[in-house]
Amino acid sequence: MGAPEKALETQLRNIQTKTGKSLDELGAIIRSSGLAKHGEIRDMLKEKLGLGHGDANTLVHVVLKSDGASAAAGSGPGEVLDGIYSGAKAQLRPIHDKLMASIEGFGPFEVAPKKNYVSLRRKKQFAMIGPATNSRVEVGLNAKDLSGSDRLIALPAGGMCPYKVKVEGAADVDAELLGWIKTAYESAG
């Protein structure tokens, strides 16, 4: 079992301890709520069970099997990428490939394919890469020692990645972007 799976297992065990309910009981609460939208279910769990945002969000994903890892389960990384970069987004695959080829030079890391992006991890996630629109890829960066700019966009607190960079062409995969990614890579592990 890898680090992400162990972390999820620990989080679910902690949720059960906090609520005093088994995973099956928590699933029954979600299914009997009559709610269908992820955000509504998450907010109900926060209010009804006193869960924090992250725990409630994870619980909804696990019970509904709606997380990116579940959606990508059973597929190899190449198959997931073929799905992510298909149709109108197929033209973006060279950007992704150039990013990955450059990042591989930093050293070892894990690639965790999700439904619409890939997560890059060492001891913790350091980047997310995926198409944001039909015309650009976004790189989410999990690093604290960066200064936002017009290109390195600071995101609201509380998200998985505090920064993102819009990449519209392979030429945008330059020393500046790779420097930011390397900073995130080094802080993750």
Please report where in the chains the tokens 């907010």 appear, as a residue: 43
Q: What is the pLDDT of residue 38?
A: 79
Consecutive 10-residue runs of the chain (189 residues): their mean pLDDT?
A: 71 91 91 86 91 86 66 54 89 94 93 85 92 95 89 87 94 96 93
State the Cα–Cα distance between residues 139 and 76, nearest whole angstrom: 21
* Residue 128, H or E segment: strand 125-131
Token readout for 67 is 């997380």
Q: What is the pLDDT of residue 101?
A: 94
Token readout for 31 is 């299914």
Kindly tell me the sign of the dihedral angle through the C-alpha atoms of 105, 110, 115, 116.
negative
**Would you tell me how many other CB atoms lie within 10 Å of the CB of residue 167?**
24
**Would you tell me how many other CB atoms lie within 10 Å of the CB of residue 73?**
12
What does the domain layout of the chain look like in residue ranges? Answer: 3-66, 88-187
Q: What is the pLDDT of residue 142?
A: 93
Phi, psi at 149, each rounded to 5°: -155, -175
Q: Are 123 and 184 in contact (CB under 8 A)?
A: no
State the Cα–Cα distance between residues 2 and 72, nearest whole angstrom: 16
Q: What is the pTM of this model?
A: 0.63
Q: What is the pLDDT of residue 83?
A: 84
**Would you tell me how many other CB atoms lie within 10 Å of the CB of residue 144?**
9
Q: What is the pLDDT of residue 20?
A: 94
